[in-house]
């Protein structure tokens, strides 16, 4: 399952309908600050049911609706739709693709949809229970959540572990069961209060009912005695009638003969009825047996069906085991291939490392040699500079000497030239004088006087020429000139050596700089190779561990396959036994059905015979009636008796509103003495008066109250049973939740320690329950010690360390219970380059199982992504989306 796409319309800065397609693996969400990147995260939380306006960065929920810009009007509705792939059926809806939608109107009306069907928020949230997805689950991790995980109270960190443990649903059921339990106990109190009120009426009416019943019993007894008394009178009248009818004995004989026939027929008919009853009883028993066989047969069929279902279930488990075995074999193959690749890469890195170290050594040696050469050149420059200084000192001395000689020579020449006034040489002499005058202030002009001097010599008189040539100062000056020239040449030579040395130093330093850059590069290559090598070796340890776990799982699958095979064999044997028993039941059913048919035929035969006998009996009775009427006609003298009897019947009817004959049929013969009967009536009258005032409707009222009274008692019993059942359910949920949470916490605890060391390159970290004896309420403490530090309190960690600790906890949770997709909002912002590399490598590894959408500004995180989602705000206040798919070439590590 992964997040396929999202569509936003009118949500925050996404004014236009914006469709975003997400890819499996890692997608990077980029954009400048304030462009609306975080609005996408808010949209995911919002559509998953977020109700907190604070978490939506709003004052009220209607603020998430696009509120307009200078160029655009505000909208009246916001809508966000997520499309989720469900091909693996993680979500309990039978559909390969599920669409979740939330819509909010500016009037405050809100709607939720699943596959375009309106649902309640509760149904939407229950859909994502225990998947890691949800507004409070670990599928969305922001900077704020990092602070919440690391800074909040230990009890507030539980949601991560509860979601991973899959007890969110249990927790909700437990809350519901607790509410039902509380409601049941309230109902018990209410029913008990009602029962208390009803009990008062119950016992009052019970007493009244007993008095009324006693009154009615006396009345009934009086009635029975009176019936007996009247019947006794009538019987005496009939006896009188019989005595007077002796002459009609012949008719009485006929009457007796008919009565004997009737009696005989009645006895025969009774015997036939008894036989019929016995057959019916046998028939009823057979029918019961037949029904029991039917029930048992149905039960066997159900058991056979259940047996087949179990076989199907085990076959499905077989199929699941095949799929799991195939998956684990594939993963083992991939792990082994990965191990071989990592080993090859490791050997390559080791070879590269040797080459890099050799290069480093070569460059260091060369630089050492270059440095020594530079030092020699520097010493040479210093020596020549010292020589230049010495020569410059000598030069200055010679120049001072030349200045003194020049003064002497010029003074003498000027004196000599005073007498040299040949007109034709005036111009030449004047020029020479000027040169002489200048030479006093600038002795270097003396070097140029030789050329003028030669011209003067050719024109001077012999006596003046002799005078100049014999001047010792001039010869001394020439000696100084030669010496100055020699020193100047030496100075130039030293300066030339110095310049050459400086040029060579510059060239050598350039070589040193080049080598230094190469040394730095080789050191970086060596460091990178060592980091890669370390990472590969750590990865190899983890992969080997995973390979062992995969092979262990494969062995477990094989053991499960054998166990399921044995179960299927047993199921087939059980089904064969049940089928045989079912066939036996069918045979028994057929036999009993045949017996029932025979008995029904026999009963029908008896019914026909009894019908004939009853017809004959009725005829006999008709004859008896005729003879009785004849007797009455022949006994006119008994008319008075008959009238008296009629009067007695009439009086009885007037008194009790019931026929005496009807009363006779329901009244027991008590006594045949008339006086005794009268005395009994008198005694009962006395008792009747002693009862006093009665409520004649009390028995009926008591019956109604009694029904309610017993109903309420029954209801209390039912509520108490419900209370007991709910208590058991609550304890069962608590026990199951404790087990799941403990197992998950232990697994995350182990994974967190390994993941922390992997991401930090060392150090240690652990998770601890603040109250191990109360797992479901206990807080969770995080202890972290980065490499080289002794601190434990996570509040003292740096921003990068806090982020990396939270990432370690997130990845540890994902290792135990991965969420199908995860959104990370700038959690890499505080990480340095080294930690970023570890973070990206780990993220890439986990992206094989889960889909990651990362909001980031870090280039390394971006380069590790498979797709780029760019958010821009070309129009002020309105966000737009740009999507780019990256094609990565496989790089050798």
Count how many Cα atoms sit within 13 Å of the Cα of residue 387 in the half-sphere of its side chain: 18
At residue 104, the pLDDT reads: 93
The C-alpha atoms of residue 472 and residue 483 are separated, in whole angstroms, by 17
- pLDDT over threshold 90, residue 552: no
pLDDT tens across 707-748, in order? 877 887 787 788 778 778 877 877 777 777 788 778 888 888
Going from the C-alpha of 351 to that of each of 339, 358, 529, the distances in angstroms are 18, 11, 10
- Whether the CA torsion 463, 465, 468, 470 is positive or negative: it is negative
Phi/psi for 263 (5° steps) reads: -65, -45
pLDDT tens across 444-501, in order? 554 455 457 555 555 555 455 456 555 666 677 678 778 888 888 988 888 888 889 8
Tokens of 65: 């609706």
The C-alpha atoms of residue 838 and residue 690 are separated, in whole angstroms, by 105
Would you give the DSSP letter of residue 889?
P
Contact 222, 681 (CB under 8 A): yes
Tokens of 556: 């477990």
Tokens of 85: 């792939």
At residue 9, the pLDDT reads: 93
The C-alpha atoms of residue 712 and residue 716 are separated, in whole angstroms, by 6
3-state secondary structure 753-791: HHHHHHHHCCCEEEEEECCCCCCCCCCEEEEEECCCCCC
DSSP assignment string, 719-730: HHHHHHHHHHHH
The C-alpha atoms of residue 148 and residue 155 are separated, in whole angstroms, by 11
Sheet holding 26-30, edge to edge: 140-142, 821-825, 851-855, 26-30, 867-875, 878-885
708-734 exposure pattern, b = at least 16 Cβ within 10 A, e = fewer: ebeebeebbeebeebbeebeebbeebb
- pLDDT over threshold 50, residue 676: yes
User: What's the residue count for the chain?
Assistant: 893
Sheet holding 3-9, edge to edge: 18-21, 3-9, 77-85, 97-105, 110-114, 117-119
What element of type H or E holds 169? Answer: helix 168-243
Mean pLDDT of 827-839: 81
- pLDDT over threshold 80, residue 62: yes
Is residue 112 helix, strand or coil?
A: strand
Contact 74, 68 (CB under 8 A): yes
Centroid of chain to Cα 408: 113
pLDDT tens across 23-40, in order? 888 888 888 888 888 898
Q: For all residues of the chain together, what is the average pLDDT?
A: 78
Phi/psi for 27 (5° steps) reads: -120, 135
Q: Hey, which of 58-72, 320-334, 407-421 has the most confident mean pLDDT?
A: 58-72
The band of 893, judged by pLDDT with boundaries at 50, 70 and 90, is very low
Beta strands 26-30; 867-875: pairing state:
parallel
% of the chain at pLDDT higher than 70: 83
- pLDDT over threshold 70, residue 425: no
The C-alpha atoms of residue 713 and residue 358 are separated, in whole angstroms, by 97
Tokens of 67: 């509120």
Q: Residues with Cβ < 8 Å from 809, sequence gap 6 or more?
A: 149, 160, 748, 752, 755, 782
Contact 809, 801 (CB under 8 A): no
Mean pLDDT of 600-608: 77
Contact 201, 705 (CB under 8 A): yes
Instruction: Please indicate whether residue 180 or residue 630 has the higher confidence score (pLDDT).
Output: 180
Annotation: binding site for ATP: 32-39
- pLDDT over threshold 80, residue 12: yes
- pLDDT over threshold 90, residue 11: yes
pLDDT tens across 754-774, in order? 888 888 888 888 888 888 888
pLDDT tens across 372-409, in order? 888 888 888 889 889 888 888 888 888 888 777 766 76
The C-alpha atoms of residue 303 and residue 746 are separated, in whole angstroms, by 41
At residue 406, the pLDDT reads: 65
Q: Hey, which of 197-201, 497-501, 819-823, 848-852 has the most confident mean pLDDT?
A: 497-501
Contact 734, 174 (CB under 8 A): yes
Tokens of 831: 């990480």
At residue 890, the pLDDT reads: 38
Task: Tell the residue number behind the tokens 């008062």, with chain if given.
Answer: 200
Centroid of chain to Cα 87: 18
The C-alpha atoms of residue 24 and residue 474 are separated, in whole angstroms, by 104
Terminal Cα-to-Cα distance of the chain (whole angstroms): 31
What element of type H or E holds 3? Answer: strand 3-9
At residue 799, the pLDDT reads: 76
Count how many Cα atoms sit within 13 Å of the Cα of residue 764 in the half-sphere of its side chain: 4
Contact 649, 659 (CB under 8 A): yes
The band of 166, judged by pLDDT with boundaries at 50, 70 and 90, is low
At residue 105, the pLDDT reads: 93
The C-alpha atoms of residue 330 and residue 607 are separated, in whole angstroms, by 81
Instruction: Please indicate whether residue 46 or residue 827 has the higher confidence score (pLDDT).
Output: 46
Task: Tell the residue number behind the tokens 């050719």, with chain if given.
Answer: 458
Mean pLDDT of 836-851: 84
Max CA separation in the chain (angstroms): 239
In the chain the domains, ranked by start, together with CATH numbers, are: 1-132+827-832+848-893 (3.40.50.300)
What element of type H or E holds 110? Answer: strand 110-114
Count CB atoms within 10 A of the CB of residue 402. 22
169-181 exposure pattern, b = at least 16 Cβ within 10 A, e = fewer: ebbebbeebeebb
Residue/partner pairs of 585-589 with CB below 8 Å, 24 or more apart: 585/293, 585/296, 585/297, 585/300, 586/297, 588/293, 589/290, 589/293, 589/294, 589/297
At residue 523, the pLDDT reads: 80
Mean pLDDT of 690-703: 75
Annotation: binding site: 32-39
11 burial (CB, 10 Å; 0-12 / 13-18 / 19+) is buried
Is residue 84 helix, strand or coil?
A: strand
Q: Residues with Cβ < 8 Å from 379, sequence gap 6 or more?
A: none
The C-alpha atoms of residue 315 and residue 253 are separated, in whole angstroms, by 90
- pLDDT over threshold 80, residue 421: no
Contact 839, 861 (CB under 8 A): yes
The C-alpha atoms of residue 54 and residue 509 are separated, in whole angstroms, by 63
Contact 425, 459 (CB under 8 A): yes
Which residues, listed in sequence order, are joined to residue 784 by a DSSP beta bridge?
A: 765
- Whether the CA torsion 353, 356, 360, 361 is positive or negative: it is positive
Centroid of chain to Cα 82: 17
Q: Which of 18-27, 301-310, 505-514 is predicted least confidently?
A: 301-310
% of the chain at pLDDT higher than 90: 5
Tokens of 36: 């609306």
Mean pLDDT of 240-268: 72
Contact 35, 74 (CB under 8 A): no
Contact 129, 168 (CB under 8 A): yes
The band of 668, judged by pLDDT with boundaries at 50, 70 and 90, is low
3-state secondary structure 352-398: HHHHHHHHHHHHHHHHHHHHHHHHHHHHHHHHHHHHHHHHHHHHHHH
Helix (H) and strand (E) counts in the chain: 17, 14
Task: Tell the residue number behind the tokens 């016992």, with chain if given.
Answer: 203
Mean pLDDT of 646-652: 80
Q: Which of 291-305, 416-430, 521-535, 781-795 is predicted least confidently?
A: 416-430
Contact 232, 677 (CB under 8 A): yes
Nearest to 110 by CA among 56, 72, 163: 56
Tokens of 636: 């006119």
């Amino acid at each position: 399952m992964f997040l396929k796409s999202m569509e936003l319309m009118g949500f925050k800065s996404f004014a236009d309908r914006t469709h975003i397609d997400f890819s499996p693996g890692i997608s990077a969400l980029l954009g400048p600050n304030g462009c609306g990147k975080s609005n996408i995260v808010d949209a995911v939380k919002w559509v998953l049911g977020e109700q907190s306006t604070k978490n939506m960065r709003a004052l009220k929920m209607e603020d998430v609706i696009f509120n307009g810009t200078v160029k655009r009007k505000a909208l009246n509705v916001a809508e966000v739709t997520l499309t989720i792939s469900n091909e693996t059926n993680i979500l309990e809806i039978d559909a390969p693709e599920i669409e979740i939608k939330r819509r909010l109107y500016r009037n405050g009306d809100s709607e939720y949809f699943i596959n375009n069907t309106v649902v309640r928020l509760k149904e939407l949230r229950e859909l994502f229970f225990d998947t890691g997805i949800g507004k409070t689950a670990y599928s969305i991790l922001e900077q704020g959540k990092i602070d919440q995980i690391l800074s909040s109270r230990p009890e507030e960190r539980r949601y991560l572990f509860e979601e991973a443990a899959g007890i969110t649903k249990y927790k909700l059921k437990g809350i519901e069961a607790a509410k039902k339990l509380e409601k049941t106990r309230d109902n018990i109190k209410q029913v008990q209060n009602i029962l208390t009120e009803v009990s008062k009426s119950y016992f009052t009416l019970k007493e009244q009912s007993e008095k009324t019943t006693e009154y009615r019993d006396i009345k009934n007894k009086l009635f029975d005695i009176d019936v007996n008394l009247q019947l006794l009178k009538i019987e005496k009248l009939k006896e009188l009638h019989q005595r007077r009818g002796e002459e009609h004995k012949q008719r009485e004989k006929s009457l007796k003969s008919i009565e004997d026939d009737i009696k005989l027929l009645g006895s025969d008919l009774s015997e036939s009825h008894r036989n019929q009853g016995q057959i019916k009883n046998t028939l009823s028993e057979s029918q019961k047996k037949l029904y029991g066989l039917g029930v048992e047969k149905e039960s066997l069929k159900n058991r056979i069906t259940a047996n087949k279902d179990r076989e199907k279930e085990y076959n499905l488990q077989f199929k699941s085991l095949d799929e799991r075995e195939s998956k684990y074999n594939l993963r083992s193959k991939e792990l082994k291939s990965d191990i071989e690749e990592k080993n090859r890469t490791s050997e390559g890195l080791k070879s590269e490392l040797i080459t890099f170290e050799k290069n480093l050594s070569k460059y260091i040696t060369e630089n050492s040699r270059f440095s020594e050469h530079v030092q020699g050149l520097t010493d040479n420059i210093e020596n020549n500079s010292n020589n230049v200084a010495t020569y410059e000192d000598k030069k200055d001395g010679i120049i001072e000497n030349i200045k003194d000689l020049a003064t002497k020579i010029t003074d003498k020449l000027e004196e000599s030239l005073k007498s040299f006034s040949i007109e034709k040489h005036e111009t030449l002499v004047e020029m020479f004088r000027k040169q002489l005058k200048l030479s006093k202030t600038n002795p270097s002009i003396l070097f140029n006087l030789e050329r003028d001097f030669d011209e003067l010599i050719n024109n001077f008189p012999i006596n003046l020429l002799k005078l100049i040539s014999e001047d010792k100062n001039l010869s001394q000056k020439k000696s100084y000139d030669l010496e100055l020239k020699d020193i100047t040449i030496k100075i130039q030579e030293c300066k030339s050596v110095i310049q050459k040395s400086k040029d060579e130093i510059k060239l050598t330093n350039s070589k040193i700089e080049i080598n230094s850059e190469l040394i730095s590069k080789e050191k970086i290559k060596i460091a990178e190779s060592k980091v890669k090598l370390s990472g590969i070796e750590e990865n190899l340890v983890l992969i080997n561990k995973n390979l062992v776990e995969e092979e262990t799982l494969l062995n477990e699958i094989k053991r499960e396959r054998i166990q399921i095979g044995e179960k299927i064999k047993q199921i087939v044997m059980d089904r064969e036994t049940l089928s045989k028993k079912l066939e036996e039941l069918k045979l028994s059913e057929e036999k009993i059905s045949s017996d029932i048919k025979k008995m029904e035929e026999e009963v029908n035969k008896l019914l026909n015979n009894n019908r004939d006998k009853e017809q004959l009996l009725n005829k006999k009775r008709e004859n008896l009636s005729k003879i009785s009427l004849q007797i009455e006609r022949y006994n006119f003298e008994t008319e008075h008796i008959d009238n008296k009897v009629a009067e007695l019947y009439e009086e009885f009817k007037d008194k009790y509103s019931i026929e005496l004959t009807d009363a006779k049929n329901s009244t027991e013969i008590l006594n045949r003495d008339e006086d005794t009967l009268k005395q009994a009536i008198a005694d009962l009258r006395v008792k009747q008066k002693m009862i006093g005032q009665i409520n004649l409707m009390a028995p009926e009222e008591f019956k109604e109250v009694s029904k309610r009274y017993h109903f309420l008692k029954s209801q209390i019993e039912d509520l108490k049973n419900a209370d007991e059942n709910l208590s058991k359910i609550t304890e069962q949920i608590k026990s199951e939740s404790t087990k799941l949470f403990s197992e998950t916490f232990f697994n995350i605890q182990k994974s967190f320690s390994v993941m922390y060391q992997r991401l930090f390159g060392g150090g240690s970290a652990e998770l601890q329950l603040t109250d191990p004896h109360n797992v479901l309420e206990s807080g969770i403490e995080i202890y972290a010690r980065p490499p080289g530090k002794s601190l434990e309190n996570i509040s003292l960690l740096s921003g990068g360390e806090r982020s990396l600790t939270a990432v370690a906890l997130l990845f540890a949770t994902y290792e135990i219970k991965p969420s199908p997709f995860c959104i990370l909002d700038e959690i890499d912002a505080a990480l340095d380059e080294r930690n970023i590399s570890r973070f990206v490598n780990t993220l890439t590894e986990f992206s094989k199982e889960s889909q990651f959408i990362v909001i980031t500004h870090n280039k390394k995180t971006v380069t590790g992504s498979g797709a780029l989602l760019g958010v821009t705000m070309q129009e002020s206040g309105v966000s737009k989306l740009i999507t780019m798919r990256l094609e990565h070439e496989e790089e050798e590590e």
